[in-house]
């Protein structure tokens, strides 16, 4: 019995040590670009109290995402160099948005990334091997906004992987039109037409989605029910309205602004759109 108690105490200490060896994050945006860092922080702070609702309720997340892609929020924004200097592994529970501009930064940061994150968004230039390294069994939603170099001999592997991945309503694989070579996109398009379970959809400008066939109809059916149930929360926490408060003569006034737009852009895409707009001025 004494040996059992000793073993139990040792296991508890090991568990505590493992827990302390990671920095824990729920939703994180990692970049090696200072301008992107500042824009991501600004966009995150614009969420207000809606962020807390979004991240804690899967039904709200389901409605906000829509049927085709991911509309992420993020709680933390980190710089690649700071993570590397700290040299402490990251444990990411929900969303990973990774923006790296060089293979050197990729090779240094990826070994430090751990956790059961289910949503993955990539910016930058990657190889297909690098992309697959970040996709584990728990990843269900992917959007690649950079370019992916694929050896021609690996085209079949990419097509098979994307088809296997898009196996249900909650699984989404989206990519920028410049992500893959035209020949690979044509192969993927042809394969989707021959499959009864997968659709290739062009919805947002410049983005292609490979999704489970019929997902749009299923989404609208489920989302209608969830929307009715959660309408009150959506009204007050910013999905249907953006609100601000002004004070005049000591009296507070609440102003509501209707913010739903057709084909609204995901927040991470807004970060880069704001940078392009600033640089063009």
C-alpha–C-alpha distance, residues 249 and 259, integer Å? 28
Place of tokens 């609100």: 243
What would the pLDDT profile of 45-86 be if each residue is shown by its tens digit?
876 655 655 666 676 677 677 778 888 889 899 999 999 999
**Alpha carbons 42 and 278: distance in angstroms, whole number:** 14
What confidence score (pLDDT) does residue 251 get?
62
Does the pLDDT at position 4 exceed 50?
A: no
Element at 2 (helix H, strand E): helix 2-20
Q: Give the model's pLDDT for residue 120.
A: 97
pTM above 0.85, yes or no: no
Could you report the per-residue pLDDT of 128-146, keeping only the tens digit for each? 999 999 999 999 999 999 9
Tell me whether residue 235 is in a domain. Answer: yes
Identify whether 12 is part of a domain: no
In the chain, the percentage of residues whose pLDDT exceeds 70 is 68
What is the number of domains present in the chain?
1
- Radius of gyration of the CA atoms of the chain, in A: 21
Does residue 14 belong to any structural domain of this protein?
no
- For the chain, the distance separating the N- and C-terminal CA atoms, rounded to the nearest angstrom, is 74
Expressed as residue numbers, the domain containing 235 is 19-280
pLDDT per residue as tens digits for the range 35-45: 999 999 988 88
pLDDT at 17: 40
- Tell me whether residue 174 is in a domain: yes
Residue 5 located in a structural domain:
no
- Asked whether residue 70 is assigned to any structural domain, the reply reads yes
What was the pLDDT predicted at 191?
87
The answer to whether residue 45 sits within a structural domain is: yes
Residue range 220-273, pLDDT digits in tens: 666 666 666 555 555 544 444 455 566 666 665 555 454 444 445 677 787 777
Has residue 161 been placed in a domain?
yes
């Amino acid at each position: 019995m004494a040996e059992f108690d000793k073993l139990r105490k040792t296991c508890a200490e090991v568990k505590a040590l493992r827990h302390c060896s990671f920095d824990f994050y729920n939703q994180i945006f990692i970049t090696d670009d200072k301008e992107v860092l500042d824009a991501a922080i600004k966009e995150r702070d614009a969420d207000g109290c809606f962020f807390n609702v979004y991240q804690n309720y899967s039904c709200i997340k389901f409605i906000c995402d829509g049927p085709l892609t991911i509309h992420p929020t993020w709680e933390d924004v980190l710089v690649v160099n700071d993570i590397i200097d700290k040299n402490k592994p990251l444990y990411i529970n929900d969303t990973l948005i990774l923006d790296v501009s060089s293979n050197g930064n990729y090779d240094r940061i990826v070994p430090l990334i751990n956790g059961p994150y289910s949503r993955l968004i990539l910016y930058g230039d990657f190889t297909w091997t690098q992309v697959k390294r970040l996709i584990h069994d728990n990843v269900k939603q992917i959007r690649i906004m950079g370019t992916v170099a694929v050896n021609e001999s690996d085209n079949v592997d990419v097509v098979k992987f994307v088809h296997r991945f898009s196996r249900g309503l909650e699984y989404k694989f989206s990519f920028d039109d410049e992500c893959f070579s035209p020949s690979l996109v044509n192969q993927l398009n042809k394969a989707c037409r021959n499959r009864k379970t997968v659709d290739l959809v062009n919805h947002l400008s410049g983005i292609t989605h490979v999704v489970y066939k019929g997902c749009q109809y299923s989404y609208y059916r489920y989302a209608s029910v969830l929307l009715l149930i959660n309408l009150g929360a959506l009204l007050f926490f910013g999905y249907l309205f953006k609100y601000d408060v002004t004070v005049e003569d000591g009296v507070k006034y609440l102003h509501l602004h209707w913010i739903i737009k057709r084909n609204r852009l995901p927040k991470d895409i807004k970060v880069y759109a704001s940078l392009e707009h600033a640089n063009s001025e």
